A and B are shown apart, each in its own frame.
Chain A
Amino acid sequence: MTNVGALATKPLFGLPLAELWFALLFFIFGMFLFLDGFDFGVGVLFATRDDDHEKEQLLATVGPFWDGNEVWLVVFGGALFAAFPSVYANLFSRYYLLMFAILAALGLRGLAPEMYEEREDDHWRTLWGYSFIIGSTVTPFLLGLFVMNWLVGATGLITPVGVLGGVTVLVLTIVDGAAFLGLKTRGALRDEMRNYGTRAAVSYLGIAIITLGAIYATEPGLRSSFRSPTVVALVMLTATLTGIYVVALRRRRYYAAFAATATLVFGLVGLVATLLFPFVDRTAGLTVREAIISTLPLNLMSIMASVLLPIVLGYFVVLYSAFSGPVDTEETYG
């Protein structure tokens, strides 16, 4: 290791670390939204099932994965705290009640599948089934609301664009969940999920365009950003990928559809990041460079993250390959 002296004064390899951490943060959020997104989507689609066996199957598809998926949110919180502590503090205390609503919804959703499997009687299962659906619906909605508030620098908790942002994210999780179920189920169940996925994708494109229009109309400060080539490219990418998703589902190309969802999620997250940049907290008027921690801890965090994140991605490869293919109907959540 180089001596602490150099680490304390110069950014590692002269890289623009503040901007890189801003990008990394949204990458982590994107990983969370993509991976836990399909869990949420499965939870929403759980509402369409009456048959106990099908409900079990849906739970079994996410069983081994959701814990790991949700850790991306923990890492997002930690990374925001580590790299932009003032933003972490401002943002979470400004949207105080919203944060607690998110935590409550997330808690309900985390407990529900585990509890559902603990007892077999109808009353208990109905209760935790509803908890699963409510948690899976409310969490992405509130997350969308939160991110939109963050983006436009809202001072209140509930804004019209915020609500639109919430619906956008919620619909996106259904797109994600349907594609995932295309990989994990078979037969009539899978066909039905295909139809839900198609409808969700078309709705997603519509609601995303309405949301963008609403931001453009109500946030004059963001208008100039709309003309940036990145934003235009991301909007076009979203439209194209929605098309690809629908076609892939129709042709039963489930891997292609699932890959398209991943790109859709990262497209949306990229769009938010591009519109927010160079600010990282618009309400407080903090740019990325103003809010970043000092050079020494930033360098250390960068070294750690560049080693750890590829390893973490490796864990996910091991996990997902161990449980690849459709769920065995004999195998349920345990």
Chain B
Amino acid sequence: MVDPVLASRLQFALTTIVHIIFPVMSMGLAPFLIYFTWKEIRTKQPVYEQLRRFWTRIFAVSFVVGTVTGLVLEFEFGTNFAAFSTTAGELFGGPLALEGMMAFMLEATFLGIFVFGRDRVSDRLYFLSSIAVGLGTWLSAVWILIANSWMQTPRGFEIVVENGQRIVKLTDPLAAYLNPRFPYMFIHMQNAAVESVALFMAGVAAYYVFRHHVWGYPIEHIEVWEKTLKIALVVLLITAPLQVIQGDAYARHVYETQPLKFAAMEAVWETDSYVPEYIVAFPTDVNDLLNPRTKDLFGIGIPGGASWLASGGNPQATIRGLESFSTKAPPVAIVFWAFRIMVALGFWFILLAVWGAYRWWRGELFEDDLLHKALMASSLLGFVAVEVGWIVTEVGRQPWVIQGVMKTSASVSPNLTGAEATFTLFGFVTGYILLLGLYTYVVGRIIRAGPPSKDELTQSDAAHVRESKVTSGD
């Protein structure tokens, strides 16, 4: 039997780790779908219709799985974190309700038109639907990140005691909802979503381009994949540097507002100046290898690097150490390594973008097999970067569920039993593994089936779906 607090935390962690994949897919694909739809209507070139139809199928599957997993997430605040919901509901519930009313409704209703309605509605309404769907996905992120960023840098409230319970009362809505963390988080998240999907597209396209140009496979509609690769590279060239530049500003903001998290990110135990930026660090004692709070580190670092980054240019800047906080620190090793993986991936994506751009400029984009292999291998790494990024954000703020206001351990439903929590935790592990497997399988099939051929474009979308299934070999 797992302790209800631990079981609830694990369950919530698992739910968010799995769920985030699907909104990232939707938010990242949305601008591409709007672009394809616009080009399809304006230019009447079949390649854009092929692109639109192909990526819409992946969008639709992601949306369904995202709905299923997201509903669980919304309800888990009540089922597992009732104490948090009662305490913070007045401030936290509003954004969730508004996400549903303002964003999710827009996305879900117009997705019906976008997926099924190409032959039923006018070009204008169809294009508007693509915008509505995209706007819906992005507005969802606005409200969810307003709620989350408030937990990181809570503002605009006071605490009162009602019936023996501490309740968060909203006093200044603008300060609360447009809290200092929100813009950093929103830009970082949205750019990450587009970057991740661009990498995914580039990886899928590289696979077909590689098989055709390097291995000489005959590939139907190769021009679709060449176009995909080019579009994905352009987007990557914009988003990858932006992500690192903006991420640097974000990290400085964390240093100023959440010093505990920053100390964990850099594994700084004692308050010090001229703190090195460790590239890697390991415990000197092998027995401590699995201890997330291990201290005696062997590290390779840049002298003064962490101080320099935190202060925006001063290698002598002081960083407050983990030992100076009265609360027990977060699991340092997890935060430290998650942060390093994210940053390393960020730089790798820039390198990929520059490499691809250089080959393109030289007219060798479709010949460099090493580039194609690198793109294929990196197709899911954007999602990995998003996951570890969220781990830095969420594990890094422990032990607080609301920074400085409420601890995670105090937020779990008081009447929840270990048996109930353990039962649903195991149910989740099983269910979510099955769900992820199913999603991977279905998306894999869609990719293998490829876009509709030009002959099929005159048929309805639905007929195309049937057709592509037949040709994909069942």
Contacts and interface: CB of A to CB of B under 8 A. Distances in A.
A308 B94 CA distance: 13
Contacts of B91: 297
Interface stretch (B216-224, B372-380, B456-464): B456-464
Contacts of B92: 81, 85
A232 interface: no
B331 interface: no
Given A68-B108, A85-B86, A94-B415, A297 B97 contact: no
A305 B101 contact: yes
Contact of B93 (A78, A115, A118, A316): A78
Nearest to B439: A111
Interface stretch (A12-20, A242-250, A271-279, A318-326): A318-326
B283 to A, nearest CB: 39
B110 A319 contact: yes
Interface in B111-148: 111-113, 115-117, 120-121, 125
Contacts of B416: 93, 96
Interface stretch (B57-65, B299-307, B358-366, B394-402): B57-65
B104 A300 contact: no
Interface string B164-186: 00000111110000000000000
Interface string A279-312: 0000000000000011011001100110011001
A256 B115 CA distance: 29
B137 to A, nearest CB: 13
B93 A82 contact: yes
Contacts of B173: 4, 296-297, 300
Contacts of B64: 67, 110-111, 114
Interface in B42-83: 57, 60-61, 63-65, 67-72, 74-75, 77-80, 82-83
A153 interface: no
A79 B470 CA distance: 45
A194 B470 CA distance: 35
A121 B445 CA distance: 14
A226 interface: no
Contacts of B79: 92-93, 96, 99-100
Interface residues of B, number: 78
Contacts of A119: 445, 469, 474
B438 interface: yes
Contact of A97 (B99, B172, B424, B466): B424
Contacts of B125: 318, 322
Interface in A80-132: 80-83, 85-86, 88-94, 96-97, 99-100, 103-104, 106-107, 110-111, 114-115, 117-121
Interface in B425-474: 427, 431, 435, 438, 442, 445, 460-466, 469-470, 474
A323 B112 contact: yes
B442 to A, nearest CB: 5
A121 B474 contact: yes
B469 A64 contact: no
A89 B78 contact: yes
Contact of B90 (A85, A90, A118): A85
B284 to A, nearest CB: 45
Interface stretch (A69-77, A176-184, A214-222): A69-77
Interface in A252-270: none
A251 to B, nearest CB: 30
Interface residues of A, number: 68
A11 interface: no
A104 B85 contact: no
Given A77-B100, A78-B93, A118-B442, A106 B71 contact: yes
A145 to B, nearest CB: 16
B357 interface: no
Given A88-B93, A99-B75, A304 B85 contact: no
- Most chain-A Cβ atoms within 10 A of its Cβ — which of B71, B109, B470? B109
B368 to A, nearest CB: 35
Contact of B105 (A82, A88, A301, A312): A312
A92 to B, nearest CB: 3
B347 interface: no
B410 interface: no
A187 interface: no
B68 A111 contact: yes
A117 B470 CA distance: 12
A51 interface: no
Nearest to A296: B170
A64 B116 contact: yes
B420 interface: yes
A296 B171 contact: yes
Contact of A92 (B71, B82, B462): B82
Contact of B171 (A8, A70, A301): A8
B89 interface: yes
B98 interface: yes
- Most chain-B Cβ atoms within 10 A of its Cβ — which of A60, A85, A96, A331? A85
A78 B98 contact: yes
A196 interface: no
A330 interface: yes
A117 B467 CA distance: 12
Interface string B369-395: 000000000000000000000000000
B423 interface: yes
B10 interface: no
A309 B101 contact: yes
Contacts of A156: none
Contacts of B112: 63-65, 67-68, 319, 322-323
A325 to B, nearest CB: 10
A90 B465 CA distance: 45
Given A70-B108, A89-B77, A309-B101, 14 more contacts: A67-B64, A78-B99, A79-B101, A83-B93, A85-B86, A88-B93, A93-B416, A111-B435, A296-B170, A297-B94, A315-B110, A322-B117, A323-B112, A330-B460
10 pairs of A and B residues whose beta carbons are closest in the complex: A85-B89, A92-B78, A78-B97, A81-B93, A64-B112, A82-B93, A89-B82, A82-B97, A93-B413, A75-B100
8 contacts: A67-B109, A68-B112, A85-B90, A89-B85, A115-B442, A294-B90, A312-B101, A322-B120
